[in-house]
Amino acid sequence: MYPTCPFCHLSKEQILLENELAFAFYDKYPVQQGHMLIIPKRHATTYFDATPEEIAAIHQLVHEGKAWLDKEFQPQGYNLGVNIGYYGGQTVMHLHIHLIPRYSGDIEDPRGGIRKAIPNLVPYPPEAE
């Protein structure tokens, strides 16, 4: 556990899904209704720092998260992604997989998926001063 890592200090109330090695919870700054994050319980900085067992546990929760979101929000599609390192867009240095529900009409033309969709949805919150 890292003292300054927000994902290392989740409250039990925030956790939607859990297994032995991973958690799923709603993103604090969602780009869409139901935007979920899936993380390992152990502090692993990037996808490549996680063990094969942690990756399997995370992917199990990706599937469970999709079932949860299908029931709660009935999205028409999904984006699934991970940012790795500062230049890959990672801002919280604890591995997290984004499971983002997509809805009909959320952008004018969804072709190209994540290549163009995410910047059009919501700006990233400014850094705290």
- Whole-prediction pTM value? 0.87
Domains annotated on the chain, with CATH: 12-120 (3.30.428.10)
Q: Which residues are catalytic?
A: 96
Q: How confident is the model at residue 3 (pLDDT cuts 50, 70, 90)?
A: confident
The CA distance from 37 to 82, in Å, is 10
Given a cut of 80, whether residue 118 has pLDDT beyond it is no
- The number of CA neighbours under 13 Å toward the Cβ of 38 is 29
Can you tell me the distance from the alpha carbon of 51 to that of 79, in angstroms, rounded to the nearest whole number?
A: 23
Residue-wise pLDDT tens digits, 50-100: 999 999 999 999 999 999 999 999 999 999 999 999 988 899 999 999 999
